[in-house]
Structure 1
Amino acid sequence: MRVTFLIHNGYGVGGTIRTTCNLSGALAELGHEVEVVSVFRHRKIPRFTYDKRVHLRHLVDTDKKSPGYDGEHPEFELPADDFPRSDHRHHQYSALTDRRIGEFLAELDTDVVVGTRPGLNVHIARQAPAHVIKVGQEHLSLDAHPSQLNLTLRRVYRRLDAVTTTTHADAEAYRRRMWLPGVRISTLPNSIPDPGIAPSDGSAPQIIAVGRTAPVKRYQDLIGAFAQVVAERPDWGLRICGIGPQDRELKSLVKKLGLTDSITFLGNVTPVEPEMAKASILVLSSRMESFGMAIVEAMRVGLPVVSTDCPHGPREIITHGVDGLLVPPGDIDALAKALLELIDDPERRQRMGREALSKGMRYDPEPIAAQCAALFQELLDARDGGTAPRQPATAFLSAAVHTAGDLAGATVSKARRTLGALRRRLRARTGN
């Protein structure tokens, strides 16, 4: 089977990039012919190591050191029309990416093409050849999308053969809220390979957090909770791996609380598992996790996880009280209490770590790649046999209700943007 992945930037870091790297390699190991096509390339060598059997190439070169640099191309400065404006990455796309993606899809010679973000899935749905199986991956969640984007997806995704989500909860949301007759909706969790290092023994007085320093991660809640922890257990430390828009704000908060000796910002760490293995607990304070790659990465090195019970990933990965603890999102006191429970009970912490190590094996790339390949083969067989999945009539009624909600949401958002623009013009005229 020939499989082609289309990804935003396969040369950087991030959960979607890593899981695409893992899945493409595992599919190649199963004997499939796999290609990863990256819209952008900002560096010569990718941050993750792809399997040698996987062909990696790019469409637009943004590496200024490269002789093929596209940043000065006249189309590079023109806004994209084909890539949906409601996808939050739209500002990075252009008339040049529209043309290059369109040309790539028009010439596509593969069995299955897989998009890895909404905007690229829209390109595939509209432009991929009819004979190619078209799969759209959801690496965020339906709830994370603005109303206008959901309206676009509800209309365009009907041309796909399948949509895959990383959690069962998100798959159910797609079935309940979207009317996609003939489109298979399946759950395909992310995979993490065995890191090949000794797991944590759970004895180090260290907690680790991994993820972008962005508002959705609620690091301010974690820092507040850890302030309570260190007040009772001053020998424990917290390490934060990741960079993002809140770097300066969070470091200022740590300094303000007098925690600079207890909290360390490590920046981006690749691979992250060796750093995780130096700790005894992973903590997540997010208000939303579409999957939770860091949870599985931690489990693969034997760390129990303390996480907010946010939608959707944590509750589908963590078994509360067995391999981790779940607390209400935004409850700083509950987060601190859960951390102290594991800190004060080394035997329980280490037992949970062993359970987590066992749980992590479920996310090995091989069985997930086999599940993925089976899905693709079923789609190929269904196409050749002329069959397609059906949705119950009640799904149409449910989708109609949610469509009305998205229309209202999109209208409100547009009105707010218009009002904001008018206010800015008024201030500019009056000088206030």
Structure 2
Amino acid sequence: MRISFLLHNAYHIGGTIRTTFTLAQVLAERHEVEIVSVFRHRDEPILGLPAGVTLRHLVDLRKDSPGYDGEHRDFSRPATVFPRGDGRWKQYSALTDARIGEHLAGVEADVLVATRPGLNVHLAKQARRGPVLVGQEHLVLAGHTFRLRREIRHQYALLDAVTTVTEADARAYRSRLKLPGVRIDAVPNSVPAPSVAPADPVAKIVVAAGRLTRVKRYDVLIDAFAEVTAARPDWKLRIYGTGDAVDDMKATLARRIKDRGLEENVFLMGWANPMEPEWAKGSIAAVTSLRESFGMTIVEAMRCGLPVVSTDCHGPREIIEDGVDGRLVPVDDVAAIARALLDLIEDDELRAKTARAALTASERFDPVRIAARHEEIWSDLVDRGASGRTHGGVGEAVHRTVGGAIDAVYELKRRAGVLVRRFR
């Protein structure tokens, strides 16, 4: 098969980028695979180019590049195809609308895969008939704005398939959206086997990793670790990741560490790539997020032989078997997090047993297994033919016309709102 992925920015770093690169590399062993990045802001991808995969971009943001698009006349004009409800809308423009449309109209592929809601909408609106159209959901349907969910309900009806990263979210798509003729499947993200030896359960280190943002609730983890150190001052917590300059979470967390008197126990380690050697230095991993659509860091830690104490925030419950290969605790419950950590810290045999179970359980997320699941879905759709989707030519034309009308209504409402605010 010829498979083409459409990514927001393949040159950056993030869970969707990482899992797409991993999947593409495995698929490239048997198929012709390309990744098309809407944006390019640096010369080389931070994660490196997957072996056997072609990478190209649509909009060049490198100011020193001869192909720099930042001064294009359409770059400052707002996007009308990319939906406003998608949190990345402000980064898109009339230029991206046109470039993505040109790409989707001309790409030669058997399967086109988009990787976020806004790009899935592009796929539905602009892709030519012929290739199988697959929209991936790497977040959670319930976490999207009402406006975006409405757009999803309408536009995704023109896709052939939607894949989510959890079965819970697949059920939500089936029950709440009612997309007749659209195949909806849950396929988790994949994580390759680490290149380092499994962690030593004797290490007295708890490891956490992820962007320093409010949703990760590292403040809660620090508070919980204050309770841990009160009982076991010989244990350390290492937090890996960086935050945005606008919202200096690192400084906020550093102050909290100082206020709790934890400077000798809790450390902000900064960003690490690769992360595997850092996981392997610990013996327990901790995740205290308000929400996780999946939990890539959970699987990464488990693949390195660490049991994970995680808040029960959607995705983790489909990865961790509570009491077997990790612990699930209530969100924002400092005492429960501290208690779960201490249960593992104070019982060396339990910690070692749980670590072995985590290592074994995480094998189900191996890239070869996950790629095979995607191949099964896509091959079935390719064999049936893209025309096998329930929407005929006339029905599709009507659908697109109605979609255009809804877009126009949204735009009129927006302009009316602007006028009301202007004349108040």
Same fold (TM over 0.5): yes
Identity %: 54
Match of 1:196 in 2: 195
Match of 2:94 in 1: 95
Distance 1:150 1:111, change over 3 A: same
Distance 1:58 1:387, change over 3 A: closer
Which of 309, 325, 328 lines up with 1:306 in the alignment? 309
The offset of 1:15, in angstroms, is 0.4
Distance 1:347 1:94, change over 3 A: same
User: In the alignment, is the contact (CA less than 8 A) between 2:195 and 2:276 conserved in 1?
Assistant: no
The offset of 1:385, in angstroms, is 8.3
User: In the alignment, is the contact (CA less than 8 A) between 1:12 and 1:46 conserved in 2?
Assistant: yes
For residues 207 and 388 of structure 1, the distance between their equivalents in structure 2, rounded to whole angstroms, comes to: 51
Match of 1:254 in 2: 257
Distance 1:50 1:77, change over 3 A: same
The offset of 1:97, in angstroms, is 1.0
For residues 14 and 369 of structure 2, the distance between their equivalents in structure 1, rounded to whole angstroms, comes to: 22
Match of 2:2 in 1: 2
Whether 1:287 aligns to 2:286 is no
SS in 2 for 1:265: strand
Match of 2:401 in 1: none
Match of 2:26 in 1: 26
Whether 1:74 aligns to 2:73 is yes
Match of 2:52 in 1: 53
The offset of 1:52, in angstroms, is 2.5
Match of 1:162 in 2: 161
The amino acid of 1:297's aligned partner reads: E
For residues 72 and 220 of structure 1, the distance between their equivalents in structure 2, rounded to whole angstroms, comes to: 41
Match of 2:358 in 1: 356
The offset of 1:96, in angstroms, is 1.3
Structure 2 unaligned segments of length 5 or more: list them: 392-409
Q: How do residues 184-263 of structure 1 correspond to structure 2 at under 5 angstroms?
A: 184-244=183-243, 245=247, 246-263=249-266
User: In the alignment, is the contact (CA less than 8 A) between 2:129 and 2:387 conserved in 1?
Assistant: no
Q: Deviations over 1:328-387 (max 9, x none)?
A: 111110000000111101111111111111111111111111110110011112236847
Distance 1:96 1:387, change over 3 A: closer
Match of 2:16 in 1: 16
User: In the alignment, is the contact (CA less than 8 A) between 2:279 and 2:304 conserved in 1?
Assistant: yes
SS in 2 for 1:77: coil
SS in 2 for 1:40: strand
Match of 2:332 in 1: 330
The amino acid of 1:3's aligned partner reads: I
User: In the alignment, is the contact (CA less than 8 A) between 1:309 and 1:327 conserved in 2?
Assistant: yes
Structure 1 unaligned segments of length 5 or more: list them: 390-410, 427-432
The offset of 1:63, in angstroms, is 2.1
Q: Deviations over 1:123-153 (max 9, x none)?
A: 0011111111100000001011011100000
Q: Deviations over 1:31-77 (max 9, x none)?
A: 11000000111111111133331001111111233332222222222
Aligned residues: 399
Match of 2:381 in 1: 379
For residues 82 and 199 of structure 2, the distance between their equivalents in structure 1, rounded to whole angstroms, comes to: 44
For residues 384 and 42 of structure 1, the distance between their equivalents in structure 2, rounded to whole angstroms, comes to: 34
Distance 1:203 1:383, change over 3 A: same
SS in 2 for 1:371: helix
For residues 250 and 155 of structure 2, the distance between their equivalents in structure 1, rounded to whole angstroms, comes to: 37
The amino acid of 1:221's aligned partner reads: V
For residues 256 and 81 of structure 2, the distance between their equivalents in structure 1, rounded to whole angstroms, comes to: 42
User: In the alignment, is the contact (CA less than 8 A) between 2:83 and 2:118 conserved in 1?
Assistant: yes
User: In the alignment, is the contact (CA less than 8 A) between 2:191 and 2:300 conserved in 1?
Assistant: yes
The amino acid of 1:182's aligned partner reads: G
SS in 2 for 1:321: coil
Q: Deviations over 1:265-310 (max 9, x none)?
A: 1222111111110011110001111000001100111000000111
The amino acid of 2:7's aligned partner reads: I
Distance 1:183 1:235, change over 3 A: same
The amino acid of 2:342's aligned partner reads: L
Match of 1:172 in 2: 171
* Coordinate RMSD, CA, aligned: 2.2
For residues 388 and 134 of structure 2, the distance between their equivalents in structure 1, rounded to whole angstroms, comes to: 17
SS in 2 for 1:9: coil
The amino acid of 1:250's aligned partner reads: L
Match of 1:406 in 2: none
Match of 2:36 in 1: 37
For residues 275 and 66 of structure 1, the distance between their equivalents in structure 2, rounded to whole angstroms, comes to: 36
Q: Deviations over 1:61-108 (max 9, x none)?
A: 112333322222222222111110110001111111111111111111
The offset of 1:388, in angstroms, is 5.9
Distance 1:384 1:264, change over 3 A: closer
In the superposition, the TM-score normalised over structure 1's length comes to 0.88
Which of 283, 302, 320 lines up with 1:318 in the alignment? 320
User: In the alignment, is the contact (CA less than 8 A) between 1:382 and 1:388 conserved in 2?
Assistant: no
For residues 197 and 233 of structure 2, the distance between their equivalents in structure 1, rounded to whole angstroms, comes to: 27
In the superposition, the TM-score normalised over structure 2's length comes to 0.90
